[in-house]
Amino acid sequence: MPDSKIIIVGPTPPPYGGVSIYVSALYRFVRERGVRLWTYSDEQQEDENIRFLKPFGLKMATSLIRDAVKARIIDSSYFAIEHPHKLLLPAWFIGKLLLRFEWVKIFHDGSLPSRYPGFTRVEKMLVRAAMNSVTEFIVVNEQLRTWLRDQFGVTQKISVISSLLPLPPDAFEASLHKSLDKAISRHAKRICSIGVFIPGYGFKAVADAVAQIRAESCEDIGLVLVDCGYVRNPKFESEVFVERDWITVVANVPQSTVLQLLKRSDVFVRAFGLESYGLSRVEALWCGIPVVATRAGETRGMHTYDYGDQEGLVKQIKAALHDSNKQETLHWSAVFQKEAEENLQKLVTAIGLKGSTEP
């Protein structure tokens, strides 16, 4: 049992976004040590230590209040600072004062420093109040720590711990549904990209690059787009798909399925320009394939280009398609595995647990 009540707050799959996978992984490693989880997943499971926040009612509120008294709450949610909620955030402040819980805020969102200037005056006021209320911060990169210090003068403890955590041993052993395997196997080569159908994630840029390479090389190259599934933009989707029957879209699938798609691909492309870390980049290396990625977040062992540089993207995809240096991929795969295990131990300590936790 932990020395004090510890509660993890945040999304869990589905949908299968990076933060939800992180929260699910963290809870998996610490659930045997008496840690609770408050989550707003679209799918519920039987676990006495999990509170599902949907649907929310009076009975749920009573349970949460009882849990939260003098607890240490590890917060990966988005309503407090990343997207400040005008009702929930003040209620959270009041709850913290009355229930005397510690608030450990984990920052995952690398886009926040660029988005913050566009917040309304009320939103900025709420964010500043939240910064003062947080007990400790955990951030996934040095840039976020610098921003907290420089923008808000934060004096509380800030721990920098990458969001990369170990995968369970059986994560790479799942089978792929026959229809999906057939759909992606119809092409001689496959390029995979993960994101959301909004412009910032770069699906159109990747599709345009693959179209250009197909035209120039006459190679049969398919593109597999893994849609994390939490937002829809039909107009943008039509721009990506236009007369391109070589694109296969896979939406809102478990991480185990994504790993199988990566293992069956020749190149992985991550075209997001505001990456805070980029878990999928490392997962692709763990699956043994070369990675093309923007110069944001993790870039070691990858073919990199500047976000928005279409010529650079095409050049790097071509290079990756003919990348035969498997030893380099294996080297960085091992480096990241070691770092993931180290991150887990740092995180376990930061959230308030003593001793090590086996991956």
The CATH number that applies at residue 238 is 3.40.50.2000
How many helices (H) and strands (E) the chain has is answered by: 13, 13
Residues 6+ apart with CB under 8 A from 159: 136, 137, 138, 139, 346, 350
Asked if residue 43 is part of any domain, the answer here is: yes
51 and 157 belong to one structural domain: yes
**Is 357 inside a domain boundary?**
no
What stretches of 48-157 adopt beta strand conformation (E)?
50-52, 72-75, 102-107, 136-139
**Average pLDDT of every residue of the chain:** 91
Domains in the chain, number:
2
- Residues paired with residue 333 on neighbouring β-strands, in sequence order: none
**Ramachandran assignment for 30, one of left (phi > 0), alpha (psi -120 to 50 degrees), beta (any other):** alpha
Per the domain annotation, does 1 fall within a domain? Answer: no
Burial classification of residue 170, based on how many CB atoms lie within 10 Å of its CB (0-12 exposed, 13-18 middle, 19 or more buried): exposed
**Within a domain: residue 269?**
yes
Do residues 102 and 232 share a domain?
no
CA end-to-end span of the chain, whole Å? 18
* Residues 20 and 156 grouped into a single domain: yes
CA atoms within 13 A on the CB side of 49: 16
Does the residue 51 lie in any domain?
yes
Q: For residue 172, is it within any domain? A: no
Q: Is residue 56 part of a domain?
A: yes
Answer whether residue 246 shows pLDDT above 90.
yes
> Which three-class secondary structure state does DSSP give residue 193?
strand
pLDDT > 70: what percent of the chain? Answer: 95
How far apart CA 7 and CA 73 sit, in angstroms, is 5
Structure tokens of 203?
A: 């699906």
At 126, the amino acid letter reads: L
What is the per-residue pLDDT for 18? Answer: 85
Domain identity same for 44 and 115: yes
Reported confidence tier of residue 242, pLDDT bands at 50, 70, 90: confident
**Same-domain status, 316 and 296:** yes
Confidence of residue 1 (pLDDT cuts 50, 70, 90): very low
Q: Say whether both 330 and 346 belong to one domain.
A: no
In this structure, the answer to whether residues 324 and 185 fall within a common structural domain is: yes
Once rounded to an integer, what is the mean pLDDT over residues 29-41? Answer: 91
For the segment 229-239, the average pLDDT, to the nearest whole number, is 79
DSSP output for 306-354: -TT-HHHHHHHHHHHHT---HHHHHHHHHHHHHHHHHHHHHHHHHHT--
Are residues 198 and 271 in contact, defined by beta-carbon separation less than 8 angstroms?
Answer: no
Structural domain of 149? 6-166+338-351
Greater confidence (229 vs 163) lies with: 163
User: Are 133 and 223 in a shared domain?
Assistant: no
Q: What is the pLDDT of residues 71-118, one digit of tens each?
A: 999 999 988 889 999 988 998 999 999 999 999 999 999 889 999 999
Average pLDDT over residues 276-297: 95
Are 158 and 75 in the same domain? yes
> Both tokens of residue 252?
């809102």
Would you say residue 189 has pLDDT above 80?
A: yes
Q: What is the pTM of this model?
A: 0.89
* Paired strand residues for 306: none
Q: Are residues 37 and 157 in the same domain?
A: yes
Q: What tokens were used for 315?
A: 């050049």
Is residue 295 located within the same domain as residue 250?
A: yes
Q: Do 197 and 224 share a structural domain?
A: yes
Q: Look at residue 171 and tell me if it is in a domain.
A: no
d(CA 242, CA 112): 32
